[in-house]
C-alpha cells in the first residue's frame, strides 16, 4: 500500500548546483525539490567529479567492472527545498572513485563506457548499503541507461527489487552512449542481450537504447518532442524502438526553480525587478552594456545563452547574421562548444565593436545578467527537447525569438495582435529568412512601448514553475508502479 509519499531515487550524471553542463543539471537539481515539497522521500545520486567538494564519506563497497575490482566510495551532501510550508532536505549522494571521476571534465574521455558502467553498477548496492529501498528509481539520459535492466536482473532473485519501478527520462536523444560490444562484459551482461531487439545498436552497445527498452515507463521533456522522436527526422535511429514503446512514452515539460530564477531576488543581477517595476530591468540592460563594453543605447538588446553545438541552430543564425546586424539592435552571446562556432561569433564581435559582444566559456553570473538585461532571447534551435533558455528568458522578461520545435512549441506562443495574447515570436522552417522575419516582427512590436511592456508582463507572469510538472511526474511514477503490481490503476 502506498498511502504516504513515494520513496524516489533520482539518478543523473549532472545535478545543479554540484555539476552542470546543460539543462539536465537544472532538472535533476530542481525536480527533486519539487517532489520533496509535495511530500515524497526523494534522494539524488550523481558521480563525484573533481570540481565537486570533498563531502563526508558515508560508506564504501567493492564493484566489479568486468575483470576490474574497483571501490565505490559514497559521499553525502544535501539540497534544500524551500516552499511556503518551510524547508525540506533532499539528500544527495555522490558515487566516488578516484580512477574514474577525479577528472576535470564530466564526459568526453576514452573510457566513458567503463566510467558510466561503474556508475550504473554502483546504484543498486548503494541503495542496499544505505538501507534505502526506493519505490521508484528515476533514470536520466544515457549515463544511467543500464540501471532499469540491472534492476530487472536483480529482481529475478529479490522480491524487493522485483517490485521496484523504473522511469527513464530522455533529456536529449542525440547523446546515446554508444560504445563497442566489449562494454557488455564491463556491465557483467551476457551475449543474450546483444541482439537488434536488445541493446545492440548497429554493432555497438547503446546505453540509451537499454533505458528505452527496459524501464517500466519512459518519458521525455515535452509533449511535442515525445511525438517528434517517434519520427525518422528526430528519432536519431531509435524512432522504431520509441514507436514500439509509444504507449509507455509520456511528455512532461520541464519547469524551472522559481526560487533560483527569480528576478525580484536574484543576487546575480545588477538590480532586482518584477513585472510591475520594469524600469529596473532597463538598469540591468545599461549595466550589462557597460560591463560588456557595448555602446550605452536604448536599441533592443538581443541575447543568447547557449551551448554552441549544431542542435542550437547556429548555422542558420550565422547565415542570418549580416541581415540581423543591419537592424538597429545590439547582440550579446554567451556560449561554449564547437571551436568553429566560437571563432565565427568572436570574429563578428571584432568586426562590430560596441554592437556585438561575444563571451565564450561557462559563466552562471553573466548568463543571468543577459537574461535580465536583454529585451529578446534568440533560440533558433534545429531541435529542442524542452529548452530551459526560453523559460528563464520569459521569467526575466526577455521575449523569445525562437524556432517552433520540441519544448519551445509547448511553452512559447506567438504574439497575436488581434487578441493581445502571446509571449514570443516564432518561426517554423529552418531557414535564415524565417528567423529574420520573426525577429523583424519582434522589433516592430518593440517600437511601441506599451505593446512591448504588455508582452513582457505576459511572459513574466506565465507559470513555468515545477508545480504542475512535478505532479505529472508523480502520475508517471504511479503508472510505473502499476506495471510492478504495486498499485491498481483504472484501465
> Which lies closer to ligand ADP via its Cβ, residue 165 or residue 392?
392
CB of 367 to ligand ADP, least distance (A): 4
Who contacts 141 (Cβ-Cβ below 8 Å, separation ≥6)? 12, 13, 24, 169, 170, 171, 172, 175, 208, 211
Cα–Cα distance measured from residue 25 to residue 22, given in angstroms and rounded to the nearest whole number: 6
The number of residues that bind ligand ADP (CB under 6 A) is 18
Cα–Cα distance measured from residue 255 to residue 261, given in angstroms and rounded to the nearest whole number: 11
17 interacts with ligand ADP by CB under 6 A: no
Where on the phi/psi map is residue 66: left (φ > 0), alpha (ψ -120 to 50), or beta? left
Q: Which three cell numbers stand for residue 221?
A: 521533456
Q: Which residue shows C-alpha cell 546575480?
A: 268
> Which lies closer to ligand ADP via its Cβ, residue 151 or residue 356?
356
Half-sphere exposure of 303 (CA within 13 A, CB side): 29
406 interacts with ligand ADP by CB under 6 A: no
CB of 359 to ligand ADP, least distance (A): 8
Residue choice 52, 92, 320, 388 for contact with ligand ADP (CB under 6 A): 388
> Which lies closer to ligand ADP via its Cβ, residue 6 or residue 106?
106
CB atoms near residue 432 (< 10 Å): 20
CB of 312 to ligand ADP, least distance (A): 7
Cα–Cα distance measured from residue 70 to residue 63, given in angstroms and rounded to the nearest whole number: 5
Identify residues 189-248 at the interface with ligand ADP (CB under 6 A). none
CB of 63 to ligand ADP, least distance (A): 29
Q: Which three cell numbers stand for residue 111?
A: 573510457
The stretch among 4-12, 18-26, 426-434, 441-449 that binds ligand ADP (CB under 6 A) is: 18-26
Residue choice 55, 270, 362, 430 for contact with ligand ADP (CB under 6 A): 362
22 interacts with ligand ADP by CB under 6 A: yes
Which helix or strand (DSSP H or E) is residue 474 part of? helix 467-483
Residue choice 19, 305, 402, 470 for contact with ligand ADP (CB under 6 A): 305
CB of 334 to ligand ADP, least distance (A): 5
Bridge partners of residue 303, in order along the sequence: 332, 377
x/- letters, 321..350, toward ligand ADP (CB under 6 A): -------------xxx--------------
> Which lies closer to ligand ADP via its Cβ, residue 5 or residue 22?
22
306 interacts with ligand ADP by CB under 6 A: yes
307 interacts with ligand ADP by CB under 6 A: yes
CB of 254 to ligand ADP, least distance (A): 7
- DSSP-assigned states of every residue in 18-81: T--SSHHHHHHHHHHHHHHHTT-EEEEEEE--TTS--PPEEEEEEEEETTEEEEEEEEEEEEEE
Q: Which burial class, exposed, middle or buried, applies to 90 when counting CB atoms under 10 A from its CB (0-12, 13-18, 19+)?
A: buried
Q: Which residue is nearest to ligand ADP (CB)?
A: 23
Which helix or strand (DSSP H or E) is residue 366 part of? helix 364-373
Residue choice 23, 91, 211, 303 for contact with ligand ADP (CB under 6 A): 23
> Which lies closer to ligand ADP via its Cβ, residue 386 or residue 476?
386
Half-sphere exposure of 252 (CA within 13 A, CB side): 27
CB of 449 to ligand ADP, least distance (A): 28
387 interacts with ligand ADP by CB under 6 A: yes
Distances (CA, A) of 19 to 99, 105, 122, 453: 18, 10, 19, 36
> Which lies closer to ligand ADP via its Cβ, residue 313 or residue 335?
335
Residue choice 240, 364, 420, 485 for contact with ligand ADP (CB under 6 A): 364
CB of 14 to ligand ADP, least distance (A): 10
Cα–Cα distance measured from residue 16 to residue 143, given in angstroms and rounded to the nearest whole number: 16
Q: Where do contacts with ligand ADP occur on this chain (CB under 6 A)?
A: 22-23, 26, 305-307, 334-336, 362-364, 367, 386-389, 392
Amino acid at each position: 500500500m502506498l498511502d504516504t509519499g513515494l520513496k524516489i531515487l533520482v539518478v543523473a550524471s549532472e545535478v545543479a548546483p554540484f555539476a552542470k553542463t546543460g539543462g539536465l543539471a537544472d532538472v535533476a537539481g530542481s525536480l527533486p525539490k519539487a517532489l520533496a515539497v509535495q511530500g515524497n522521500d526523494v534522494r539524488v545520486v550523481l558521480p563525484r567529479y573533481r570540481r565537486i567538494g570533498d563531502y563526508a564519506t558515508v560508506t564504501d563497497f567493492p564493484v566489479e567492472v568486468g575483470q576490474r575490482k574497483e571501490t565505490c566510495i559514497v559521499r553525502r551532501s544535501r539540497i534544500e527545498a524551500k516552499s511556503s510550508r518551510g524547508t525540506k532536505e533532499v539528500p544527495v549522494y555522490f558515487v566516488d572513485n578516484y580512477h574514474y571521476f577525479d577528472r576535470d571534465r564530466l564526459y568526453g574521455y576514452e573510457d566513458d563506457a567503463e566510467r558510466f558502467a561503474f556508475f550504473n553498477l554502483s546504484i543498486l548496492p548503494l541503495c542496499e548499503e544505505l538501507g534505502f529501498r526506493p519505490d521508484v528509481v528515476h533514470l536520466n539520459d544515457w549515463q544511467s541507461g543500464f540501471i532499469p535492466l540491472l534492476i530487472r536482473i536483480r529482481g529475478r532473485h529479490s522480491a524487493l527489487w522485483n517490485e521496484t519501478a523504473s522511469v527513464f527520462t530522455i533529456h536529449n536523444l542525440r547523446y546515446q552512449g554508444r560504445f563497442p560490444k566489449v562494454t557488455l562484459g564491463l556491465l557483467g551482461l551476457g551475449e543474450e542481450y546483444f541482439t537488434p531487439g536488445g541493446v545492440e545498436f548497429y554493432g555497438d552497445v547503446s546505453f540509451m537504447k537499454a533505458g528505452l527498452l527496459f524501464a517500466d515507463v519512459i518519458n521525455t521533456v515535452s509533449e511535442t518532442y515525445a511525438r517528434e522522436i517517434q519520427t525518422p527526422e528526430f528519432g536519431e535511429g531509435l524512432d522504431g524502438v520509441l514507436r514500439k514503446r509509444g504507449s509507455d512514452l509520456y511528455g512532461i515539460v520541464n519547469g524551472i526553480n522559481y526560487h533560483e530564477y527569480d528576478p525580484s531576488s536574484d543576487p546575480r543581477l545588477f538590480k532586482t525587478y518584477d513585472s510591475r517595476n520594469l524600469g529596473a530591468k532597463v538598469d540591468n540592460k545599461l549595466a550589462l552594456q557597460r560591463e560588456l563594453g557595448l555602446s550605452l543605447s536604448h536599441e533592443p538588446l538581443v541575447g543568447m545563452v547557449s551551448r554552441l553545438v549544431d542542435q542550437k541552430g547556429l548555422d542558420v543564425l550565422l547565415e542570418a547574421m549580416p541581415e540581423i546586424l543591419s537592424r538597429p539592435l545590439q547582440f550579446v552571446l554567451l556560449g561554449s562548444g564547437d571551436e568553429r562556432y566560437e571563432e565565427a561569433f568572436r570574429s563578428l564581435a571584432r568586426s562590430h565593436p560596441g554592437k556585438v559582444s561575444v563571451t565564450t566559456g561557462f559563466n552562471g553570473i553573466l548568463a543571468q545578467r543577459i537574461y535580465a538585461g536583454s529585451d529578446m532571447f534568440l533560440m533558433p534551435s534545429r531541435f529542442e527537447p524542452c529548452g530551459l533558455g526560453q523559460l528563464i528568458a520569459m521569467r526575466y522578461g526577455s521575449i523569445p525569438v525562437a524556432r517552433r520545435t520540441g519544448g519551445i512549441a509547448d511553452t512559447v506562443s506567438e504574439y497575436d495582435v488581434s487578441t493581445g495574447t502571446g509571449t514570443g515570436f516564432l518561426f517554423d522552417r529552418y531557414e535564415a529568412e524565417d528567423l529574420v522575419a520573426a525577429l523583424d516582427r519582434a522589433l516592430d512590436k518593440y517600437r511601441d512601448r506599451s505593446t512591448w511592456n504588455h508582452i513582457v508582463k505576459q511572459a513574466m507572469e506565465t507559470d513555468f514553475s515545477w508545480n504542475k510538472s512535478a505532479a505529472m511526474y508523480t502520475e508517471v511514477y504511479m503508472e510505473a508502479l502499476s506495471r510492478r503490481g504495486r498499485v491498481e490503476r483504472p484501465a
